[in-house]
């Protein structure tokens, strides 16, 4: 205590001495600081005055979760966008976030110009690309395996997440431990090519016809490789979830299932504890087909929005990329399982266009 008091007294004495002999220097310094602050404020005001003023920015989200959950989670995005766009030369008066009543409603809002920006899946973008431009693709955690070749997925080791961010994922056709499943796996792992008769002799599990990884892209894979589609297979059942599909695969009810890469990671424990298998899921299953990449969700902008031009598109791109590079921003975009954003190319979604065309043709039959 005495030491503390002594230090304080000594400091006070020094302050008094410094004040007595250099008060004019302090006054000069204060004046200089005040002037510098005024200049800085003026510069900031001038920069703001130079910014382009936009009264309202309408951002639409698809209802992939409960609408109120999305609205609550994305509330901080309003100020984040204002801040980032200000540094890009745009002062936004108000950011309005709307959750569409359906995926199609958001696509239609972009086409009509009611929405300026839309967070939409690739499939929705492709359906409405006459009225929307894709500017960004969302990224998610990458995987340690990402080969076009089925055999490369069958080393008996787990597929692990990586720190690399991926703008796409794949659908996999996975054979199980049944006799037919092992027969198909053996051909792939021996470097042999499958025939359509091989596939047609198996029992298949697929998801609903609107599922990209569980139906659409596997059907595209069948079409590309065998000039057929899933409707041409003789033994197909629809599963209500990937969990039930893996349960059927484990029991031998089906020989093959269609899923996202690499769904086996999500069923490692259940494969043994609930589905009754004794071996590892990595040893008892094999990938027999790999689809082209399915590109992730998009940030798309309206072609008919009155506030949209090439410069503003670039500003929005930079704003979302910067937001995705911060912890606060990642917490917001996690509502859609996004990790960040990368510049998009419309051509990235050509496989999606091909898939949509296939669906139209199938529905027409």
The single-letter DSSP state of residue 315 is H
Residue 283: CB partners within 8 Å, gap ≥ 6?
156
In a domain, 338, yes or no: yes
In a domain, 92, yes or no: yes
* Residue 195 in tokens: 């025939």
In a domain, 146, yes or no: no
Interval 12-30: pLDDT, tens: 333 333 333 333 333 343 3
In a domain, 315, yes or no: yes
Q: Same structural domain for residues 278 and 310?
A: no
Query: What Cα–Cα distance (Å) separates residue 348 from each residue in 132, 168, 224, 317?
Result: 15, 9, 18, 17
Domain boundary among 239, 261, 291: 291
The single-letter DSSP state of residue 63 is -
Answer positive or negative: Cα dihedral of 22, 26, 27, 32: positive
Length of the chain: 365
Cα 231-235-240 angle, rounded to 5 deg: 80
pLDDT value of residue 36: 43
| Residue range 339-363: mean pLDDT, rounded | 90
Q: Same structural domain for residues 285 and 306?
A: no
pLDDT value of residue 238: 94
Q: Same structural domain for residues 311 and 219?
A: no
pLDDT value of residue 4: 38
pLDDT value of residue 29: 37
| Residue range 218-237: mean pLDDT, rounded | 94
pLDDT value of residue 49: 65
Identify the residue with better confidence: 291 or 16.
291
In a domain, 32, yes or no: no
Q: Same structural domain for residues 108 and 186?
A: no
Q: Same structural domain for residues 284 and 315?
A: no
Q: Which domain holds residue 83?
A: 51-141+295-364
Q: Same structural domain for residues 277 and 218?
A: yes
Q: Compute the distance between CA of residue 315 and CA of residue 322 in angstroms, rounded to an integer.
A: 11
Q: What is the pTM of this model?
A: 0.75
Identify the residue with better confidence: 267 or 38.
267
Domain boundary among 266, 291, 316: 291
pLDDT value of residue 180: 98
pLDDT value of residue 33: 38
Residue 31 reports pLDDT greater than 80: no
Domain boundary among 257, 291, 325: 291
| 3 state SS of 73 | helix
Q: Compute the distance between CA of residue 132 and CA of residue 303 in angstroms, rounded to an integer.
A: 5
pLDDT value of residue 143: 95
Q: Same structural domain for residues 186 and 266?
A: yes
Q: Same structural domain for residues 270 and 329?
A: no
Within a 13 Å sphere around the CA of 129, how many CA atoms are in the beta-carbon half? 18
Interval 133-176: pLDDT, tens: 999 999 998 999 999 999 999 999 999 999 899 999 999 999 99
| 3 state SS of 77 | helix
């Amino acid at each position: 205590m005495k030491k503390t008091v002594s230090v304080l007294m000594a400091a006070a004495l020094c302050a008094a001495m410094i004040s007595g002999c250099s008060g004019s220097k302090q006054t000069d310094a204060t004046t200089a600081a005040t002037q510098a602050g005024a200049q800085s404020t003026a510069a900031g005001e001038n920069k703001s005055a130079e910014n382009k003023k936009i009264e309202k920015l309408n951002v639409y989200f698809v209802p992939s979760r409960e609408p109120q959950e999305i609205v609550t989670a994305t509330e901080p995005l309003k100020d984040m966008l204002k801040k980032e766009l200000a540094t890009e030369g745009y002062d936004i008066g108000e950011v309005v976030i709307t959750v569409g009543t359906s995926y199609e409603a958001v696509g239609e809002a972009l086409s009509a110009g009611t929405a300026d920006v839309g967070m939409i899946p690739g499939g929705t973008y492709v359906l409405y690309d006459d009225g929307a431009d894709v500017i960004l693709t969302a990224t998610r955690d990458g995987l340690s395996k990402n080969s076009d070749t089925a055999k490369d997925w069958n080393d008996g080791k787990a597929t692990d997440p990586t720190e690399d961010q991926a703008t796409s994922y794949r659908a996999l056709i996975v054979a199980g431990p049944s006799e037919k499943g092992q027969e198909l796996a053996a051909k792939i792992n021996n470097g042999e090519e499958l025939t359509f008769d091989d596939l047609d002799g198996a029992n298949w599990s697929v998801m609903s016809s609107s599922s990209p990884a569980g139906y659409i892209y596997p059907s595209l894979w069948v079409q590309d490789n065998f000039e057929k589609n899933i409707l041409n297979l003789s033994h197909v059942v629809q599963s209500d979830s990937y969990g039930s599909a893996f349960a059927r695969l484990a029991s031998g009810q089906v020989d093959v299932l269609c899923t996202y890469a690499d769904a086996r990671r999500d069923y490692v424990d259940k494969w043994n504890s609930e589905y009754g298998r004794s071996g590892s899921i990595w040893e008892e299953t094999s990938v027999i087909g790999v689809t082209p990449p399915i590109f992730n969700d998009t940030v798309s902008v309206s072609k008919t929005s009155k506030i949209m031009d090439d410069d503003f598109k670039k500003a929005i791109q930079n704003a979302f990329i910067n937001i995705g590079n911060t912890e606060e921003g990642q917490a917001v975009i996690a509502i859609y399982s996004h990790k960040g954003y990368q510049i998009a190319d419309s051509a990235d979604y050509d496989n999606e266009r091909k898939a949509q065309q296939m669906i139209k043709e199938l529905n027409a039959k």
